Structure 1
């Protein structure tokens, strides 16, 4: 592994924007650490949220809710990738979708299958096991949103190339309109549209960055921070930029205009740090670490909650002290719990990392006339499947529980079938088009 990482690092093109890779790793790492810290497990095996126990800590989410940075980086990478493929291939859409999603969907489908089998084996459980069957699926919402970003990249990139900042502005206005219909007119289900408008607007900022058009990051940061503060102070939006148990309104699910303003502030902030960040990642040792982390980042993200709950499960099974969340003894345990969760995550990475490596393509007998539509259908099915599973959880495989996804009720078995079918469509459509294009 070390030699491979060194070789990859040494072969890095001189023109590669290494700071973007650093942001990708740092944002996912921050999310993982945040999840580990926020989980408040009680002696009876129930899981709460540290931010609910200590509401005064919710202001920290204005710095630590960094998922917008990951989606911003995604926009930057998708713009470069799509343009590069457009210059070399005719059937670009299906090739682009497969190329961008291969390292995302393969480890995700393995995660779904492993936990699906575990859910069927465990059956209905109470306590921490039952909570785990629901909780470990929640981060899959991120996969679903990222799938949507890939699917809409060609269209939104064209709008960006024609309208620039106005394309971002249109998405932001659409997000504001959705919130107005939601809170002022109380239109049912309209809030789900902001899963698209808010996150695609952040993604659009990545396009602007790819073209060097974020010229005044300080203005973006200050404007976003001021807008977020005003919306929270005078609007119906909560302080926390992550979801809270039992809250009537969440800034995350569905996302709100306040979260978009928060994303603008974060994008401006990381752009202000671009020069020192680039100098840091230019150091060979640091760059090798970034390369190594990027190679397993998705696998680590998928399994980090499994590892954390495994640590708490072991503590309960061994009857080790489990202090009350937010107590002095609880805080003293944090470094030990983090170290144990990191070790278990590393074991999961060692077991499943091979699925994050891009798979080879076997030439197809025919290019397939409908490769593009098949890829679009595949990514749509995968998107709906993983989003549905994130809402229902693996426990729903046996319980028959359903959840409302974009005004439609979906069950866990249906979500798994859609996710798997979509993945297979993406793989086969991209492979056939690639055979024709090469």
Structure 2
């Protein structure tokens, strides 16, 4: 039986790094709030971006583009998790259960809804826009899948070269931008989906081994680097994607975004002391535990809720003021409250598909210390978005060994899954019967093919992990 958030909070081991859990919740919460605020829907149902309407707000993205912090926390958790269960197929399944189950339910529900809407001939106008936009958060899932898949080899590089492995990824990202902007090499920019985000992930490995000892230097270097690149290079000011821009710092990621990530991670590490004390307060920790238990479900459905609010306003002829006008700003608290309430209803309906935290901890052995590269024990963080598991007697030591024969199936499964999820984030759920396509790393992929790859890959990962 799943424990309540209060019971889980009370049973949290003292060895757990609660600040990491606080960062996970805060980063996802900031992303959700940012998406709700950036949506600028007009009276005709057209969806715009507030940052494009009011360019003076774009410097706020240097603080609010917080996704690098989540990937940094992911690297920390993956390092500890793999060291406690160094069998590839088992590691994949353990890390991805809380991530993929709610994701596959989200895909299945929206696929059924999109087919119903299309068969009824109602997939045009604002409805068609909604079918495309609701899939956008899946890009984050795809990137996270790649990080999980590549954890074992990159962790070995980290343990051998330390900061050198991180610097190599930074150099590779800089080289890609040089080839892209100076030499005009086509398609090379897509490599930075790997180099930039894996460099951020690598910082999480360094954090797991307490090797980020001068966070102020990291923050200053990152902030100065990002400012210089934006001032002198072809990089835009906004650290999130903007409609119609020729160059985006996000898609694909750029060296400027990597510098931004360094500044953010340095900043949150500077706040580690007070942040840790805050997370140890009982009321705060209970809130963090409760939020972690529903984080993936809330993240997946928050755009659905936001678009549902706007759809209801259009259907009921509620006036939609011009974006960024005084009336629009006055309406913001009401829209946010409605979006939060609808998200809560969706979470209540779908949270059952997130594996209960207690069960997740029991399966993964979380809460038991995992040995770091320096030989000291580290608290394991069970699943990417899980609440902390209950403490238990330390399990028998796991004997590290080579990957089992199911590892090739697991590798194939996660590859199919991440390609499918990334492809679906680009195509959306519209035009399923026509096989609407989008370009994924220079290859056309259709929405039906993306859905099939995502579901098939998930089943392979599940089967390989059980074996």
Quick check: TM above 0.5?
yes
CA distance in structure 2 between the partners assigned to 1:19 and 1:256 by the alignment: 28
User: Aligned residue pairs: how many?
Assistant: 421
- 1:364-384 Cα offsets, whole Å, 9 max, x none, are xxxx96310111100000000
TM-score after normalising by structure 1: 0.94
Quote the residue 1:281 is aligned against. 279
Q: What's the counterpart of residue 109 of structure 2?
A: 114
Could you tell me which residue of structure 2 aligns to residue 27 of structure 1? 27
5 Å-filtered alignment, 1:83-162, equals: 83-86=83-86, 92-123=87-118, 125-162=123-160
CA distance in 1, matches of 2:191, 2:415: 15
Cα distance in 2, alignment partners of residues 22 and 50 from structure 1: 28
Report the CA distance between 1:3 and its aligned residue. 6.4
When you count helix as a share of all residues, which structure comes out higher?
1
**Deviations along 1:182-230, whole A, 9 cap, x unmatched?**
1111111111110000000000000000000000000000100000000
**1:420 CA drift (Å):** 0.2
Q: Is 1:396–1:411's contact at 8 Å kept on the other side of the alignment? A: no
**Structure 1 residue ranges (4+ consecutive) displaced by more than 3 angstroms after TM superposition:** 358-361
Whether contact under 8 Å (2:135, 2:428) holds in the other structure is yes
Structure-2 separation of matches of 1:251 and 1:404: 18
Calculate the TM-score normalised by the size of structure 2: 0.88
List runs of 5+ in structure 2 lacking aligned partners. Answer: 364-402
What does residue range 212-223 of structure 1 map to in structure 2 within 5 Å? 212-223=210-221
Quote the offset at 1:245 in angstroms.
0.4
Cα distance per residue 1:55-97 (max 9 Å; x no partner): 11011000000000000000000001111113xxxxx100000
Structure 2 partner of 1:235: 233
List alignment gaps of at least 5 residues for structure 1. Answer: 87-91, 362-367, 433-438
Query: Is the Cα contact below 8 Å between 1:219 and 1:268 reproduced in 2?
Result: yes
Q: Does residue 328 of the first structure (1) align with residue 323 of the second (2)? A: no
Distance 2:2 2:234 in 1: 51
**How far apart in 2 are the matches of 1:136 and 1:164?**
39
Q: Is the 8 A contact 2:88 2:404 kept in 1?
A: no
CA contact (8 A) 1:44 1:127 kept: no
CA RMSD of aligned residues (A): 1.4
Following the alignment from structure 1 to structure 2, what is the Cα–Cα distance between the partners of residues 136 and 185? 36
Which of these residues, 387, 412, 423, is aligned with residue 458 of structure 2? 423
1:402 Cα deviation (Å)? 1.1
Which residue number in structure 2 is paired with residue 89 of structure 1?
Answer: none
Cα deviation code 1:108-150 (max 9, x no counterpart): 0000010001110111522221111000101100000000000
> Shift of the alpha carbon at 1:11?
1.1
Alignment of 1:31-430 (within 5 A): 31-86=31-86, 92-123=87-118, 125-357=123-355, 370-430=405-465
The CA deviation string for residues 235-271 of structure 1, in whole angstroms up to 9 with x for no partner, is 1100000000000010000000000000000000000
